[in-house]
Amino acid sequence: MAEQKYIIMCWVYVLSDENNSKYYIGSTNNLSRRIKQHLAGHTRSTRVLKTYNLVYKETFDNIDDARLREKKLKSYKSHKYISWLIKNNNSMGL
């Protein structure tokens, strides 16, 4: 019997406040669960920033790659770059 391999989808995502003035960048292996946690107020920074709108996501084959990308995006510390990324490379079609 051949060994079954399961592909676990992982994501880097960006949440925004109503005015797109604040962003939260995160990574997860279960996007729908993670969004529900944010909306339920389980994440302190999301509660404080009021970043509840999913505005961007990227898909990865493993959590290590997703976390590396999250770290890279956070290292830019540039609101302008994140806004550009959302506008020009949005894999959500928003």
What's the pTM value of the predicted model, to 2 decimals?
A: 0.85
Q: Are 17 and 33 in contact (CB under 8 A)?
A: no
pLDDT higher than 80, residue 2: no
3-state SS class at 30: coil
Structure tokens at 8: 């676990």
pLDDT tens digits along 42-93: 989 998 999 999 999 999 999 999 999 999 999 988 889 999 998 887 555 5
CATH number of 10-88: 3.40.1440.10
pLDDT tens sequence across 3-35: 666 667 999 999 999 988 899 999 999 999 999
Q: Would you list the domain boundaries of the chain?
A: 10-88
Q: What is the largest CA-CA distance in the chain?
A: 54
